[in-house]
Amino acid sequence: FGRLTICENLEFYGELYGIEHQERAKRIEYFLKTFDLWRLKDRKASGLSAGEMMRAILAKAFLSYPRVVLLD
Summarize pLDDT for 30-48 with one digit per residue, the tens: 999 999 999 999 999 999 9
The angle formed by the CA atoms of residues 54, 44 and 17, to the nearest 5 degrees, is 65
63, 10 Cβ separation under 8 angstroms: yes
Residue 46 to residue 61: CA distance in whole angstroms: 18
How many Å separate Cα 8 from the centre of its chain?
8
Residue 12 to residue 8: CA distance in whole angstroms: 6
Which pLDDT band holds residue 5 (cuts at 50, 70, 90)?
Answer: very high
pLDDT surpasses 90 at 15: yes
- CA-CA-CA-CA torsion for 59, 64, 65, 69, nearest 10 degrees? -70
Which pLDDT band holds residue 72 (cuts at 50, 70, 90)?
Answer: confident
pTM: 0.89
